[in-house]
Amino acid sequence: MSEHQASVSLIAEGKDYELLGTVDQASFILRSKADLCTAHLQGEDAARFQADYQAVQLQHPNWEPDQTLAQLWDQGGYSWLAAQDGE
């Protein structure tokens, strides 16, 4: 994980959620702070996430990061790809 941490930067953060990604947007880390779970998205999952993230931002430009990321976590189904932190 330390290799990935050096190559990712913060994209969005709220009280309950955090989104990190690589500069080339080839991978994303979506974390639910409340659930202590993290989804590592790469390949097709990362491409789908990027499209979904942009779509939610366009539909709801005034939403706070937690609202946008919660929508993707719950309704977008990305919670299914998550594992407990520390696993």
Q: Which residues pair with 19 in a beta bridge?
A: 12, 30
pLDDT at 55 over 50: yes
- CA atoms lying within 13 Å on the CB side of residue 36: 4
In this structure, the number of other CB atoms found within 10 A of the CB of residue 2 comes to 5
User: What's the pTM?
Assistant: 0.88
Q: 3 pLDDT exceeds 90?
A: no
Mean pLDDT of the chain: 92
